[in-house]
Amino acid sequence: MTDQHPNILLIVADQHRADCLGVNGHAMVRTPCLDQLAAEGANFTSAFTSSPICVPARNSLLHGVWPCRHLSIANADTEAPRPAVALPAFPEILAGAGYDLTFIGKWLGGSARTPQDYGFHHVVPEKDYQTWRAGQKLPPRPGGLPFYGSDDAITPAQSRLAWGADHAIAALRQSAAAPARPFLVRWDPSEPHLPNVVPKPFADMYDPELIPPWPSFADAFHDKPYIQSQQLRSWGIEDWTWKDWAPLVAQYFGDISLLDSQVGRILGELQRLGLDRNTVVIYTCDHGDLCGAHRMFDKHYVMYDDVVKVPLVIRWPGVVAPGTVVDDFVIHTLDLAATLCELAGQDAPEAFQGRSLAPALKGQPRQQRPDVLAMYHGNQFGLFTQRMVRNRQWKYVWNATDRDELYDLENDPAELVNRAAQDSSREVLAQMRRRLHQWMVETGDPLNNSWIRRQLLQNRKV
């Protein structure tokens, strides 16, 4: 292990809303360990995903490129499953730089290349938890939808989250015992992705009666794409009230607090082993979760901040000033790939499309993005192409087969009023369409064709 190139502990959760952290202002969710991590490092308050869906986002993190470049645009259980095309990936670069790589948890599934194919030396797949659980004479973990509630057969120490944290701790101990090489330990838990089945006391930590509705819960979907109101019918929840939703949100919060406690265990062991001083710790997730916002489950077919905005906390002792808050626009899956290469003392491949976060972490001057892009291509309810461009005030969503969306985020942060058809927004809409076209050119988006250019540059779109 060298002082020049730090160890890396990377935790990538699944569907953790950016606003569901105490440090990000949530009044109820208890995340003391992640809040402390932010207090000791940097909290990125304007981090966004490249795509609000698991496999595309996670492939973007591996390869540092947009989904339209790596082409793994949907999850495995859909009509468009395919692995990413052959592109450079950050784990291969770190392995080539002498890092010892460990992967624990949820991988890409389907026909994707394995973690070993990407250069990881040690792999613990999350499916092994059920085998471990059976060996402990415990019943299978409840699964399927729409199960939410308590996993009464186990204690928190027997949860899948604790099991994953145990393996992360074991990897840290192994590295401490043989410190010849720097390490990357990556833990990708499935939590807090639904279904949120958690053990007590976390299952009872939040009283549903005390949880207020999300600000967007009153959405009537007026002048919005048809597929949004159809989502409620697809899930069978079109008649749900907040009384139906609140218990599920309570379980989501409980899952986050259980995850936070296990992150705390890992960080405590990192400190006990004396590894914390030369280890960069990164906590983030692939994308957010609606969890009742806009009255919807999960994600899919929307570009609301509930799903495109992500938590991102980075601690780098001796480099990042404690309590740093970075409000730069960050596209975390792209930017982290470039950042990890720089941490390892390696140049990012020319194919990478992100920007290293190192200047922001070091408090150095840097070029800041005026806006961010995200893309989506559809999933279990069929293909549905979307592009989003968002700046501080406005969000524009181009929907290939339905009406477009335009939200004034300063005056309508809940994204309830679609202003795309309002005469007063005509010039803003035209500006955002031109900006989206510019993004498509810059990213090499294959949808930059003559028909789409006519829509965006000549304002020929509903």
Q: pLDDT above 70 covers what percent of the chain?
A: 99
Does residue 433 carry a pLDDT above 80?
yes
Specify the pLDDT at position 1: 36
- Strand, helix or coil at 44? strand
CA dihedral for 276, 277, 278, 282, sign (positive or negative):
positive
- CB-neighbour burial class of residue 161 (10 A; exposed 0-12, middle 13-18, buried 19+): buried
Name the DSSP letter for residue 61: H
Specify the pLDDT at position 111: 79
Does residue 3 carry a pLDDT above 60?
no
Structure confidence at residue 342 as a pLDDT band (50, 70, 90)? very high
CATH topology of domain 391-457: Arylsulfatase, C-terminal domain (3.30.1120)
Does residue 2 carry a pLDDT above 70?
no
Q: What is the rounded average pLDDT of the residues 62-75?
A: 96
Task: Copy the structure tokens of residue 411.
Answer: 């005056």
Task: Copy the structure tokens of residue 17.
Answer: 């809303």
Does residue 52 carry a pLDDT above 60?
yes
Specify the pLDDT at position 76: 85
Q: What is the mean pLDDT of the chain?
A: 96
The CA-based angle 73-75-77, given to 5 degrees, is: 135
Q: Which residues face 405 on adjacent strands?
A: 397
Per-residue burial over 369-401, b = 16 or more CB atoms within 10 Å of its CB, e = otherwise: eebbbbbbbbbeeeebbbbbbbbeebbbbbbbe
Domain spanning 7-369, CATH class? alpha beta
Task: Copy the structure tokens of residue 235.
Answer: 């899930």
CB-CB contact of 378 with 267 (8 Å): no
pLDDT digits (tens, 9 = 90+) for 71-101: 999 998 888 888 999 999 999 999 999 999 9
List the single range of 280-284, 329-333, 377-381 with lowest mean pLDDT.
377-381
3-state secondary structure 160-223: HHHHHHHHHHHHHHHHHHCCCCCEEEEEECCCCCCCCEECCCHHHCCCHHHCCCCCCCCCCCCC
Specify the pLDDT at position 302: 98
Q: What is the rounded average pLDDT of the residues 130-144?
A: 94
Ordered by start, the domain boundaries in the chain are 7-369, 391-457
Which residues have CB under 8 Å from 80's CB, separation 6+? 73, 74, 377, 378, 383
CA dihedral for 285, 240, 226, 424, sign (positive or negative):
negative
Does residue 142 carry a pLDDT above 70?
yes
Specify the pLDDT at position 185: 98
CA 441 to chain centre: 25
Structure confidence at residue 109 as a pLDDT band (50, 70, 90)? confident
Does residue 353 carry a pLDDT above 90?
yes
Q: What is the rounded average pLDDT of the residues 53-66?
A: 97
List the single range of 76-80, 382-386, 446-450 with lowest mean pLDDT.
76-80
Q: What is the rounded average pLDDT of the residues 19-45?
A: 98
Specify the pLDDT at position 198: 96
Specify the pLDDT at position 110: 78
Q: How far is CA 176 from CA 119, 162, 264, 273, in A?
A: 21, 21, 18, 7
List the single range of 26-35, 110-119, 138-147 with lowest mean pLDDT.
138-147
DSSP string, 338-354: HHHHHHTT-PPPTT--S
